[in-house]
Amino acid sequence: MVATNIVGSKDDATKLHVEFAKRRATETKAIVASNVSGKDAKIKQSVTDLKEEIKNVNNNLTEIQNTGANQTSAAVAKDINKDTETIKNVLQDVKDSLLAASTSSTDKTVSAAVSEAKDMVKDTNVKAVEVMVTKHLDGDNSVSKEEIKQAIDTSLQSAVTDIATSKQNADGVKVVMDAVKTEVKSMSAASTTVATATSTKELNDKITVVSGQVQEAAKQTNLVLVEGTKNATDAKDLLATDNFVQALDKVKEASEASKVAEKITDNTMQSVQTVLPTVSVNNVVKQEIVPAVVAPATTNTVNKVEVIVTPATVSNLTILPIKVTVTTTKR
């Protein structure tokens, strides 16, 4: 359900919309964790409602920004900035859960919708900071100069952290794929029959293609992180001279960069899951055993890849303890 036709001041209406958005995010997380019937449809509806609420918040913020001085608007924007950060984190939890359980094209569609909603939330988070700056420069003293500096700095650090997480995830997936590629290559060299060699080659070819994509993703996310870190450093220098307008531009650039990095990682994970269907390497401590079966059309020989990733934290994804086992069986 979406809150519509809310009567009251624009500030009050905006606060109510963001409250409903928080509820929809929490609701989505609960549905993802449940075994309710029609789960995918319910997730999609909840995410659709969430996106509509965020759209309303963003539209209202634009109106608030463009209207005359209101001595509470900057304070409302400050609260929205904090609330949207919370919503963004909940949606990341949702994405992680969907990724770990992804087994169908429907799951991928749902995950894409969640990613889109998360991008909208990021935009609204930055918009709230922009309203704070605009209103402050127009004479709204409901938020102090130091609070604006803090909001800008927090949004910057959040964006850079998001980029760093995307990079670490890409690096973690690269470690997994490198281990799989090495093991399958060894198996290919040891093949003693035509059937086994054919099956192994098909698997090896797929892994080689995906491994190349993973390598490129690791490079790209690193470049984005370098640029994002530079934006954060530049913004701190600007804040030191109370140059809020240009510092805000750096926030916008960093936020856009975080969306790019996350998209790179999302696309990479989808590619990896074509050969290792449920690989999930993110900032959640977990252990997974991942089977991937490739059956050539001309034989009944099957290669099975098991990747065992022992528990690790986001701080050491690049040195994940990994065991890869490849076996050949007959169907």
- The pLDDT tens digits of the residues spanning 31-88 come to 999 989 999 899 999 999 999 999 999 999 998 888 765 556 889 999 999 999 999 9
The stretch 167-188 carries a mean pLDDT of 80
- Pick the more confident residue, 73 or 163: 163
Q: Where are the alpha helices (DSSP H) in the chain?
A: 10-33, 39-66, 73-101, 105-137, 145-189, 194-240, 244-272
> What's this model's pTM, rounded to 2 decimal places?
0.79
Which residues share a beta bridge with 294?
303
Count Cα atoms within 13 angstroms, Cβ side, for 163: 27
Domain boundaries, the chain: 1-143, 163-331
Token representation of residue 49: 């409602």
Rounded percentage of the chain residues whose pLDDT exceeds 90: 49
Q: What is the pLDDT of residue 80?
A: 95
Name every residue whose Cβ is closer than 8 Å to that of residue 102 and which is 6 or more positions away in sequence. Answer: 108, 111, 273, 277, 278
pLDDT-derived band at 124, boundaries 50, 70, 90: very high
Q: What is the CA radius of gyration of the chain?
A: 23
CA nearest neighbour of 59 among 108, 104, 6:
6
* Highest mean pLDDT (candidates 100-109, 209-218, 265-274, 314-323): 209-218
For 93, the 3-state DSSP assignment is helix
109: tokens are 């569609």
Contacts of 59 (CB under 8 A, 6+ apart): none
Per-residue model confidence (pLDDT) at position 102: 60
Q: Span 294-315, mean pLDDT? A: 42
